[in-house]
Amino acid sequence: MRMSREEVQRIALLARLELTPAEEAELVEHFDKMLTYVEKLNQLNTDGVEPTAHAVAVPSPFREDRVTNQADPDALLQNAPTREGDFFKVPKIIE
């Protein structure tokens, strides 16, 4: 697949990038190399290969969401300039 200069200019416009003609030419080359590589990968037979996100089993980085401490309003608001009950009191900014 061949990437044209016009396509690079369109991508740059969408990405809000100002490219010089030299940068456009360089990107045309880089995109061509990447697309050529992807075309080679598309020629591989992947029948029976399960899709994976990692080559090895990786444990989930997410933990169970649970409260480990109880909020103490007095401690949280002890340095507040003004408070109203268990809340910060702030000046009204909308009329």
Q: Spell out the domains of the chain, with CATH numbers in brackets.
A: 5-42 (1.10.20)
The pLDDT of residue 1 is 67
Q: H/E element holding 82?
A: none
Rounded average pLDDT over 66-76: 85
E strand residue ranges, 1-95: 83-84, 87-88
Taking a C-beta distance cutoff of 8 angstroms, is the pair 86, 77 a contact? yes
| Residue 26 predicted with pLDDT over 90 | yes
Q: In whole angstroms, how large is the CA radius of gyration of the chain?
A: 28
Kindly compute the dihedral angle of the four CA atoms of residues 36, 6, 20, 13, in this order, to the nearest 10 degrees. Answer: -100
| Confidence category of residue 69, pLDDT binned at 50, 70, 90 | confident
Question: What amino acid is encoded at 53 in this protein?
Answer: A
Output the pTM of the full model: 0.48
Rounded average pLDDT over 68-78: 86
| Mean pLDDT computed over every residue of the chain | 89
Taking a C-beta distance cutoff of 8 angstroms, is the pair 19, 12 a contact? yes
